[in-house]
Amino acid sequence: MGNKKWAKVNDGQGDSYYQDIAFYNGRFYAMDVMGLTIAVDPSSLEVTQVAAPMSTYGHRYVGFIKTAFIFTGSSFRGVKDDFPGWDAGLFDMEDNVAQPLKSVIGYS
């Protein structure tokens, strides 16, 4: 680290547009709108994919919570108002596990 200018990172995805960036355990993590999450080593600029993009366009990223992020799905717009939270999920960056938000300990 210690560069005085920005460096372009080759993530193999072409022109990428990331929605959020975090620094955790010595690496940068970036996530795009589809959930593709990469880790970047700041000294070598080596890129590692840590989560594949979601397979459908019916999801929306909401935000980070420590080492996880919350996302929502909007596939069944006519029904989701009757069942709040049914389509929300949490992706844990430490365990690389996605699960429904309602199954997360402490969710109410």
Give bridge partners of residue 20 from the DSSP assignment.
31
Residue pair 103/92 in contact (Cβ under 8 Å)? The answer is no
Residue pair 42/67 in contact (Cβ under 8 Å)? The answer is no
- CA-atom Rg of the chain in angstroms: 16
Q: What pTM was computed for the model? A: 0.49
Note the pLDDT tens digit of each residue in 15-58: 778 888 889 999 999 988 778 889 999 889 999 998 887 765 44
Q: What percent of the chain has pLDDT over 70?
A: 56
| Sequence spans of domains, the chain | 18-103
Q: What is the pLDDT of residue 79?
A: 47
What is each CA distance from 104 to 6, 13, 42, 59, in whole angstroms?
A: 38, 32, 32, 19
